[in-house]
Amino acid sequence: MSKTQRVQLDEVVGYFDDLEDPRARVNLKHPLVSVVVIAMMAVLAGAGGPTAIAKWAALKQDLLLRVLPLPNGIPRKDVFRRVLSLLRPQAFQTCFVKWLESLRALATEATAVEQPILSVDGKTSRRSHNRAKGLGALHCVSVWASEFGLSLGQVACAEKSNEITAIPELLRLVDIQGTIITIDAMGTQKAIAAQIVASGADYVLALKGNQETLHNAVIDYIDGQLDNDFAGAPARRNRTSEKGHGREETRIYVQMPLPTDLPGADQWKGLKTIGMATLLCKYSNGEETSDTRYFISSLSMGVKCFARAIRNHWSIENTCHWSLDMIYREDESRIREPHIRENFAWLNRFTLSLLKQHKNKDSVAMKRRSCGWNDDYLLEVLTGTTT
Q: What is the pLDDT of residues 21-30, one digit of tens each?
A: 998 877 789 9
Q: Is residue 43 part of a domain?
A: yes
Q: Which amino acid is it at 159?
A: E
Range of the domain at 364: 3-88+360-383
Mean pLDDT of all residues in 205-230: 91
The candidate with the shortest Cα–Cα distance to 268, out of 336, 188, 338, is 188
65 & 173 share domain: no
149 & 291 share domain: yes
18 & 167 share domain: no
Q: Is residue 10 part of a domain?
A: yes
Q: Is 292 helix (H, G, I), strand (E, B) or coil?
A: strand
Mean pLDDT of all residues in 233-255: 92
CA 269 – CA 196 distance, rounded (Å) = 9
Where are the strands (E) in the chain, listed by range? Answer: 117-125, 138-145, 150-157, 180-183, 202-207, 236-244, 247-257, 273-283, 288-297
CA dihedral 352, 358, 362, 363 (to 10 degrees): 10
Phi then psi dihedrals of residue 202, to 5 deg: -110, 165
CA 1 – CA 294 distance, rounded (Å) = 53
Mean pLDDT of all residues in 253-273: 94
179 & 75 share domain: no
What is the 8-class DSSP label of residue 135? B
Taking only the tens place, the pLDDT of each residue in 5-22 is: 544 588 898 899 889 999
> Residue 341: CA atoms inside 13 Å, Cβ hemisphere, count?
25
pLDDT of res. 244: 83
286 & 367 share domain: no
Q: Is 343 helix (H, G, I), strand (E, B) or coil?
A: helix
Which of residues 291, 321, 351 is at a domain's end?
321
Taking only the tens place, the pLDDT of each residue in 73-100 is: 999 999 999 999 999 998 999 999 889 9
Q: Give the count of beta carbons closer than 10 Å to the beta carbon of residue 102.
A: 13
Is residue 31 predicted with pLDDT exceeding 60? yes
Where are the strands (E) in 64-137, listed by range? Answer: 117-125
82 & 122 share domain: no
Q: Is residue 102 part of a domain?
A: no
By CB atoms closer than 10 A (0-12, 13-18, 19+), residue 232 is exposed
Mean pLDDT of all residues in 45-73: 95
CA 351 – CA 138 distance, rounded (Å) = 19
Mean pLDDT of all residues in 114-126: 89
Beta bridge partners of 125: 138
Is residue 304 predicted with pLDDT exceeding 70? yes
Is residue 128 predicted with pLDDT exceeding 90? no
pTM: predicted TM-score of the whole model, two decimal places: 0.91
232 & 364 share domain: no
- Predicted confidence band at 195 (pLDDT cuts at 50, 70, 90)? very high
Taking only the tens place, the pLDDT of each residue in 352-377 is: 999 999 998 999 999 999 999 999 99
- Predicted confidence band at 387 (pLDDT cuts at 50, 70, 90)? low
293 & 185 share domain: yes
% of the chain residues with pLDDT over 90: 70
265 & 175 share domain: yes
Mean pLDDT of all residues in 324-333: 88
Q: Is residue 215 part of a domain?
A: yes
Mean pLDDT of all residues in 284-289: 91
Which of residues 300, 321, 342 is at a domain's end?
321
51 near 77, Cβ under 8 Å?
A: yes
Q: Is residue 162 part of a domain?
A: yes
163 & 72 share domain: no
CA 290 – CA 312 distance, rounded (Å) = 19
Mean pLDDT of all residues in 177-204: 96
End-to-end CA distance of the chain: 9
- In the chain, the number of structural domains is 2
